Chain A
Amino acid sequence: MRIDGKGLIDRTKPVRFRFDGKDYAGYKGDTLASALLANDVRLVGRSFKYHRPRGVLTAGSEEPNALVEVVGPTNQTPNVRATMQEVFEGLVAQSQNRLGSLRFDLLAVNDYLAPFLSAGFYYKTFMWPRVFWEGLYEPLIRRAAGLGSLSGRHDEGTYEKAFAFCDVLVIGSGPSGLMAALTAGRAGADVILCEESHAFGGRLLSDGGVIGGVPAGEWLAQILAELEALPNVRLMLRTTVTGAYDHGTYGALERVGLHKPARPNLPRECFWRIVAKHAVLAAGALERPVAFPDNDRPGIMLASAVRTYLNRYGVSPGKRVTLFANTDQARAVARELMAAGVTVAAIIDPRPDASAVEDCPVHLGAEVVGSWGRLGLAGIQVRKGGDVLQIETDCLAMSGGWNPTLHLTCHMNGRPRWSEELAAFVPMEGAVPGLVAVGAANGSMSTYGALTTGHAAAQKIVAALGRKVQIEVPQAEDAPYAVRALWAVEGKGRAWLDFANDVTTKDVKLAAQEGFRSVEHMKRYTTQGMAPDQGKNSNVAALAVLADATGRGIAETGTTTFRPPYTPVSIAAMGAGGRAEGFAPQRFLTSDQASRDRHAPMIEAGLWYRPSYFPKPGETTWREACDREVAMVREAVGVADVSTLGKIDIQGKDAGRFLDFVYTNTFSTLPVGRVRYGLMLREDGHVLDDGTSARLGEDHYLMTTTTAAAGLVMRHLDFVHQAFCADWQVRFISVTESWAQFAVAGPKARALVQSFLEEPVDLPFMGVAPVRVGGVEGRLFRISFSGEEGYELAVPTRYGEALFRDLVARAETMGGGPYGMEALNVLRIEKGFITHAEIHGRVTAHDIGMEKMVSAKKDCIGKAAATRPGLWGPEREQLVGLKAGAPISAGAHLFVPGTEIHRETDQGYVTSVCWSPTLGAWLGLGFLKDGRARHGEKVRLVDHLRGLDVICEVCSPVFHDPEGEKLRA
């Protein structure tokens, strides 16, 4: 129920929202949880395993029970913590993990089967018979597993990722974080202050109090106003720092638009990578539940949460509240409730020596041992001495003390330290370099302790940054934190530790009894701590129960490993920009528009987009266009854009020597004006890349790489140069994007090219010459990747489009035209030219029949390793041609006809295939054991995936013009 006059919500701004099909009203500033509690909705979910009715337990991101689905216009987000989701006009949420309605969940039958569903029941139950594994058990388990459901559609929401840098990252904006941010901010440091909630202030918003003689709210407003005014301080609300990583890098998730109605371009979330020279962990502490029998009814919640709902949201979660707590601090909530006019039925304090003076009944040395109420709490049983009292109550506030929120300090393998005094784990100093924990996160539980430790840590950082600041720490509450450990209460019935995953004290004891004594084993056996809250509410209590069951201390028992993220991060946020094309760069040829104008479908080649084929009217399949283009090149002339090939300009006195070192063959002897095909190996003796290099001048070469390996080759050249010959006089740079280069191939290629040149050039095969084309300096190479007489004409990129359009137009008057990647591929297969389909990283120069290209007269990269046994000889699979009368496929494997088809009889595989319109047959390139000695043999080609089984003839890989007469014409 709503309490008049309390809370920080904006009562002038009512908000309507919907939960499970019913309309409710809340206020701006409410969370879904606070608004539901204000409407007396206590039942908000069903537990994971037993489908027990559950209500709100906490008021923060650690909530294990109140997980709901938020339904948006295009998406549905499961497992949203109702305690974090702010209400907004039109918010639609629904409960999850139920079959039927929330009140009548058919799967609640699991609760009656609980005796059979104890820890490890999966492992015990679904063992036999084996034939049931896949058919029955797996679908059954899969249906039961998982929490919440998705829309089943693509998430159309916008997500972002961003980087930020600062001197000081302050994590949490309670008193310690504010003090740290203020100190560093006033000193002029570059500060980022991240707050997970939708308002700054941390526990100050819930607990009130007096700081520096003024109400905490007033102090908070002053500090925030100052921080907001400082240009060197960035305030980030709704931002959870989720992980600490190497070298001062932190991950953070900002909920940018989740608290507003969806609209286009409003990002839902942003994943930040924040690089900070120093970081202050001021994340506070999390209150612990107590494991007493039936402690999971809706209405039983943490005392600190009750206080938050009362003071921050103006809501009392009950009309007749009881308190079960083992600290003096927790008593405050009872007093504040009474002051607000709410009945407090009793305070139950297990400490026999605590104060009994309150304005309500106080039971010292007493424990809650049970509860009743079907879908919500109606009363509790209290054991005091030998008696059991029955107390009617609709809300029990419980507190078992506090756990410092030290997760980030353990993200780099650090382990926390057990403090007997605090009955809690505290951070190990220096566990994350550059990160220091302050305030409650470091075990300083009073407000004054928070302020002083926040200030002190910031002062050290300020000094390390070479800055100075004078600042006074204001006076505040500094009561000692008197806690006595209370983990579990013995009694009849199940006492819950992990609410989200339905793990009870009995399960943990059973794990210990069955030999899972290590905390890591217990966790996996019981699934404790593996739910969405990752054990924030249960880890310490569970290992305390385990410690007890195994007769060890808590420190000895230890904790499980803390891993990022602190709270769940949606994959959509982490992968922002990665969906569809996303941020992937696209590289377009200068001829791109001209190709698209001709309706050429584009195909991706790395980042490049290249035309696949150029359809003519009447052509209905790609094959028709491709066959026509192949014939066009073989009979007239074709033009293709080959600018995607990598081009590396290499200059210097030692340029030739350098090429001799990276290529297997020799380039220092290449005459100026000539081009040579070169083969490049990796140091392990396998082929890295191939291509041509031209000698443009005495100390000037132009290397061409394949499209796919352009970046790889550049990296390789840089390595060889810097690692082995940094003192040689050679420099190189990528000029791939500086030149547009067009292949002109076919019997009429020479005539077409000459018609463009201002002065005719008579180039021999494998020659290069500077030319002038339409007043522009260009280069003409006589090289061929088609087997026809071929030229490549290069001009500076900005003239590429004009030249392409002219070349194509003039080619068309000669019976030619443009050709695309499909025809280019057919032409090169017919000629037996290899691409990275063949030099795929596992083949040697010997395998492709180029061992003679490895010069005996000089060293080169990969030469030594290429001679290793096993990398050459008849047992190797060698490049062959394959000819067939029926369709064949790349990826198929080769067998000797008549032998069985299995792995051991495998003779090789196919890498490239095409229909050859020139030869009227299906052609393939592939690798066959001892293939060069087997030309003329028949092999059986089998492709199980495509259902092919074809007899092929093994032949030379060069099908077309084997003597090369056309090339040299």
Chain B
Amino acid sequence: MRLTCPLCGERDRREFYYYGAEDYLRRPAEGAPLAEWDNYLHLRDNPAGVTKDLWYHEAGCAQWLVVTRNTVTHEISGVELVAERKA
């Protein structure tokens, strides 16, 4: 598997650390109901198709990335920096 880091270019997946779905980026506001936190922390979709998840270029630029990929075809259609993502 290969990922194209926006800063470092195309790299082997062994340079990256996988975290999980991009849902982690949508942190509830302080004081949000516990149900909302439960959803944020634990409830995940398991799509057959396009999904977005978080990878960390640990052996590279230390940037967190949002990777758009297809769980069926394994195609990667986009990689963007978490820090510079469009909301």
Binding site for B on A (CB under 8 A): 163, 245-249, 273, 275, 412, 433, 683-684, 711, 714-715, 718-719, 721-724, 726, 859, 863-865, 867-868
A718 and B30 contact, CB distance less than 8 A: no
Cα of A966 to Cα of B43 in the assembled complex, Å: 49
A719 and B41 contact, CB distance less than 8 A: no
Cα of A163 to Cα of B1 in the assembled complex, Å: 13
B19 and A718 contact, CB distance less than 8 A: no
From 38 to 87 in chain B, residues with beta carbon under 8 angstroms from any chain A beta carbon are 38, 41, 54, 56, 58, 62-64, 74-76, 81-84
Shortest distance from the beta carbon of A791 to any chain B beta carbon, whole Å: 32
* Known A683-B41, A718-B64; contact A245-B1, beta-carbon cutoff 8 A: yes
Which of chain B's residues have a CB closer than 8 A to the CB of A711? 58
* Known A247-B76, A726-B83, A868-B34; contact A719-B1, beta-carbon cutoff 8 A: no
Which of chain A's residues have a CB closer than 8 A to the CB of B75? 433
A864 and B28 contact, CB distance less than 8 A: yes
Cα of A726 to Cα of B74 in the assembled complex, Å: 30
A718 and B62 contact, CB distance less than 8 A: yes
Cα of A163 to Cα of B13 in the assembled complex, Å: 13
Cα of A724 to Cα of B83 in the assembled complex, Å: 8
Which of B2, B24, B34 meets A248, CB within 8 Å? B2
Which of A412, A859, A865 meets B74, CB within 8 Å? A412
B25 and A723 contact, CB distance less than 8 A: yes
Which of B30, B38, B64 meets A719, CB within 8 Å? B64
Which of chain B's residues have a CB closer than 8 A to the CB of A868? 34, 37-38
Shortest distance from the beta carbon of A163 to any chain B beta carbon, whole Å: 8
* Inter-chain pairs besides A723-B82, A726-B83, A864-B32, 13 sampled, C-beta below 8 Å: A247-B1, A275-B2, A683-B24, A684-B41, A718-B64, A719-B19, A719-B56, A723-B27, A723-B83, A724-B27, A867-B34, A868-B34, A868-B38
Contact with A along B10-26 (1 / 0, CB 8 A): 00100001010000110
Cα of A273 to Cα of B11 in the assembled complex, Å: 13
Which of chain A's residues have a CB closer than 8 A to the CB of B54? 719
Cα of A412 to Cα of B70 in the assembled complex, Å: 14
Shortest distance from the beta carbon of A173 to any chain B beta carbon, whole Å: 26
Shortest distance from the beta carbon of A913 to any chain B beta carbon, whole Å: 34
B56 and A247 contact, CB distance less than 8 A: no
Shortest distance from the beta carbon of A624 to any chain B beta carbon, whole Å: 43
* Known A683-B41, A718-B56; contact A249-B1, beta-carbon cutoff 8 A: yes
Which of A433, A715, A867 meets B58, CB within 8 Å? A715
Cα of A731 to Cα of B1 in the assembled complex, Å: 31
- When C-beta atoms are compared, the residue in chain A nearest to B28 turns out to be A864
Identify the interface centre among A726, A864, A868: most chain B CB within 10 Å of its CB.
A864
Cα of A489 to Cα of B76 in the assembled complex, Å: 50
Shortest distance from the beta carbon of A851 to any chain B beta carbon, whole Å: 17
Which of chain A's residues have a CB closer than 8 A to the CB of B17? 715
Which of chain A's residues have a CB closer than 8 A to the CB of B76? 247
The size bracket of the interface on B is 20 to 34
Which of chain B's residues have a CB closer than 8 A to the CB of A722? 63-64, 81-83
Cα of A723 to Cα of B84 in the assembled complex, Å: 9
- When C-beta atoms are compared, the residue in chain A nearest to B26 turns out to be A723
Cα of A718 to Cα of B65 in the assembled complex, Å: 11
Which of B28, B62, B64 meets A723, CB within 8 Å? B64
Cα of A273 to Cα of B14 in the assembled complex, Å: 12
Which of chain A's residues have a CB closer than 8 A to the CB of B24? 683, 719, 723
Cα of A721 to Cα of B82 in the assembled complex, Å: 10
Cα of A647 to Cα of B74 in the assembled complex, Å: 38
Cα of A711 to Cα of B17 in the assembled complex, Å: 12
Which of A248, A715, A864 meets B37, CB within 8 Å? A864
Shortest distance from the beta carbon of A862 to any chain B beta carbon, whole Å: 10
Which of chain B's residues have a CB closer than 8 A to the CB of A865? 37, 41
Q: What are 24 of the A-B contact pairs (CB < 8 Å)? A: A163-B12, A247-B2, A248-B2, A273-B12, A412-B74, A433-B75, A683-B41, A715-B56, A718-B56, A718-B64, A719-B19, A719-B82, A722-B63, A722-B81, A722-B82, A723-B24, A723-B83, A726-B82, A864-B34, A864-B37, A865-B41, A867-B34, A868-B34, A868-B37
- When C-beta atoms are compared, the residue in chain B nearest to A711 turns out to be B58
Shortest distance from the beta carbon of A431 to any chain B beta carbon, whole Å: 11
- When C-beta atoms are compared, the residue in chain A nearest to B2 turns out to be A247
- When C-beta atoms are compared, the residue in chain B nearest to A163 turns out to be B12
B56 and A246 contact, CB distance less than 8 A: no
Shortest distance from the beta carbon of B75 to any chain A beta carbon, whole Å: 8
Shortest distance from the beta carbon of B82 to any chain A beta carbon, whole Å: 5
Which of chain B's residues have a CB closer than 8 A to the CB of A275? 2, 12
Which of chain B's residues have a CB closer than 8 A to the CB of A726? 82-84
Cα of A714 to Cα of B74 in the assembled complex, Å: 29
Which of B1, B30, B58, B62 meets A246, CB within 8 Å? B1
Shortest distance from the beta carbon of A278 to any chain B beta carbon, whole Å: 14
Which of chain A's residues have a CB closer than 8 A to the CB of B62? 714, 718
Cα of A434 to Cα of B78 in the assembled complex, Å: 19
* Known A718-B62, A723-B25; contact A246-B19, beta-carbon cutoff 8 A: no
Identify the interface centre among A247, A273, A275, A868: most chain B CB within 10 Å of its CB.
A247
Cα of A249 to Cα of B37 in the assembled complex, Å: 39
* Known A723-B24, A726-B83, A865-B37; contact A246-B64, beta-carbon cutoff 8 A: no
Cα of A248 to Cα of B20 in the assembled complex, Å: 24
Cα of A246 to Cα of B2 in the assembled complex, Å: 7
Cα of A684 to Cα of B38 in the assembled complex, Å: 9
Cα of A867 to Cα of B84 in the assembled complex, Å: 32
Which of chain A's residues have a CB closer than 8 A to the CB of B63? 718, 722
Cα of A864 to Cα of B75 in the assembled complex, Å: 36
Cα of A719 to Cα of B38 in the assembled complex, Å: 20
Identify the interface centre among B37, B63, B76: most chain A CB within 10 Å of its CB.
B37
Cα of A412 to Cα of B75 in the assembled complex, Å: 12
Shortest distance from the beta carbon of A61 to any chain B beta carbon, whole Å: 27
Cα of A867 to Cα of B37 in the assembled complex, Å: 11
Which of chain B's residues have a CB closer than 8 A to the CB of A433? 75
4 smallest beta-carbon distances between A and B, as pairs: A247-B2, A859-B30, A722-B83, A726-B83
Cα of A571 to Cα of B61 in the assembled complex, Å: 32
Which of chain A's residues have a CB closer than 8 A to the CB of B38? 868
A246 and B74 contact, CB distance less than 8 A: yes
Cα of A245 to Cα of B32 in the assembled complex, Å: 43
Which of chain A's residues have a CB closer than 8 A to the CB of B37? 864-865, 868
Cα of A859 to Cα of B31 in the assembled complex, Å: 9
Cα of A726 to Cα of B63 in the assembled complex, Å: 11
Shortest distance from the beta carbon of B56 to any chain A beta carbon, whole Å: 6
Cα of A684 to Cα of B25 in the assembled complex, Å: 14
Which of chain A's residues have a CB closer than 8 A to the CB of B19? 719
* Known A247-B1, A719-B64; contact A864-B30, beta-carbon cutoff 8 A: yes
Cα of A156 to Cα of B41 in the assembled complex, Å: 48
- When C-beta atoms are compared, the residue in chain B nearest to A247 turns out to be B2
Shortest distance from the beta carbon of B43 to any chain A beta carbon, whole Å: 13
Cα of A865 to Cα of B32 in the assembled complex, Å: 11
Which of chain A's residues have a CB closer than 8 A to the CB of B82? 719, 722-723, 726
Which of chain B's residues have a CB closer than 8 A to the CB of A714? 62
Shortest distance from the beta carbon of B51 to any chain A beta carbon, whole Å: 15
Shortest distance from the beta carbon of A660 to any chain B beta carbon, whole Å: 12
* Known A412-B74, A719-B64; contact A249-B2, beta-carbon cutoff 8 A: yes
Shortest distance from the beta carbon of A305 to any chain B beta carbon, whole Å: 38
Cα of A246 to Cα of B74 in the assembled complex, Å: 7
Shortest distance from the beta carbon of B35 to any chain A beta carbon, whole Å: 11
